[in-house]
Amino acid sequence: MKKELNYSRAIFLLLLCICVILVGAVLKITAEVVLPVIVAIMLAFVFQPVLVFLKKKFHIPNVLGILVIFVILLAAIFVIGNLLFSSVKTIISVYPKYEERFLYVYKAFAEIFHLSYDDESGLFTNLWNQLGIRNAIQSLGLSLSNGLIDFAKNLTVVALFVIFFLSETALFKAKAIAAMDGKSPGKIMSMVKDIVLQVTRYLSVKFFISLLTGVLVFLGTMVVGLDFPIIWGFLAFVLNFIPNFGSILSGVLTTLFALLQFWPSFGQVVWVAFVMLSVNMVLGNFIEPKVQGRSLGLSPFVIIVSLSVWGWIWGFMGMILAVPMMVILKIICENVEFLRPISIVMGSKVPSKLEPNNNEHESASTEPSSGVEADSSGNI
């Protein structure tokens, strides 16, 4: 009987691994359709508390509240788009100022890697003459234009999904109970409530911490005189959604540009590095955990692996959504009996009922030996 049970468990684990791989492949193939829906659901989680607040505080109906949120989103997108567009125009206008510095860096690389270099030509002329550079630039320009078109299209689709999803949230509980025909809906509703609570709290706190990070980086780089402070603030805001690596990448890119602009002076470069380091350290390691409250309970190793996996599946957006997706998976595994071992592996600590009992360990150590030693957890 025991052998049959072990055999069945092995088959189950094998089938589970195959299903996980197939689901990952399907999500990657269908990313163009699935990703906007997932983003819309996550945004709806964030805006739902705002909708409830408007209804309770100002007695604004859900329909009008959704319209207010939609107008605020459009205004924010319009303002950010104008700021970024003006920054890009500024970059184009001041490019000659930086061409000489870029050319100096390129000359150093050309000497190291034995690339062709013409002293009488500009940076782009030298790059254009390199093997494969022309095709790469053409491909980059084509992909960038296609990316902007896709971004605008997906943004519109996501906005529509958010509106319709928010309009359905009021009926979700009644629909779920009716769908289960009233049979023990408590556990499932508790699971859904836990998912909504944790994901909403994580995304809301992450949004406001990222926004504060972007504002502080913008102010810090503007005070020191670094060019394009809006871009560095926006970059810090976006990359801060990626755990661990996002803030590091933002700091490195901003500091490298400061080195390029202020070379050979190091005072401003040190200030920019200090601003990036202090802002990310204080907000990321002190303020965010305190505001976040209850830990998400995910192992740091699981978070790092999830960044790679979801990044492979959905690209940059996958890295932003990696933590919320893993939180959802962990909560589901906690509430499904045969998947509970997976939630334990994904967790950041051992459940209290599985932790070693010191008293039992001490009593076990005083018992006479019977030829079988106890391990470090007190188990035989």
One-letter identity of residue 95:
Y
Confidence (pLDDT) at 274 = 92
Q: How confident is the model at residue 215 (pLDDT cuts 50, 70, 90)?
A: very high
Q: What is the mean pLDDT of residues 304-310?
A: 90
**Residue 42: its H or E element:** helix 31-58
Task: Kindly report the pTM of this predicted structure.
Answer: 0.73
Report whether pLDDT(133) > 60.
no
pLDDT tens figures, 231-271 = 899 889 988 988 878 889 999 999 988 888 887 778 888 99
| Distances from the Cα of 232 to the Cα of 184, 219, 240, 282, 325, angstroms | 52, 10, 12, 18, 28
Q: List the alpha helices (DSSP H) in 30-132.
A: 31-58, 62-93, 95-113, 123-128
For 298, which DSSP code? Answer: B
Angle of the 186-224 helix axis to the 267-282 helix axis, nearest 10: 160
Report whether pLDDT(205) > 70.
yes
* Mean pLDDT rounded to a whole number for the chain: 76
For 379, which DSSP code? Answer: -
Residue 89 has which token pair? 């125009």
Interatomic CA distance for residues 257 and 102, integer angstroms: 11
Report whether pLDDT(375) > 50.
no
Interatomic CA distance for residues 122 and 116, integer angstroms: 13
Report whether pLDDT(366) > 50.
no
Among residues 314, 374, 351, which one has the least CA distance to residue 30? 314
Query: Cβ neighbours of residue 198 under 8 Å, at least 6 residues apart?
Result: 296, 327, 331
Confidence (pLDDT) at 121 = 59
- Specify whether the CB–CB gap between 281 and 274 falls below 8 A: no
Interatomic CA distance for residues 97 and 91, integer angstroms: 10
Q: What is the mean pLDDT of residues 56-77?
A: 82
Confidence (pLDDT) at 109 = 67
Among residues 158, 155, 152, which one has the least CA distance to residue 37? 158
Peptide bond into 324 cis (omega under 30): no
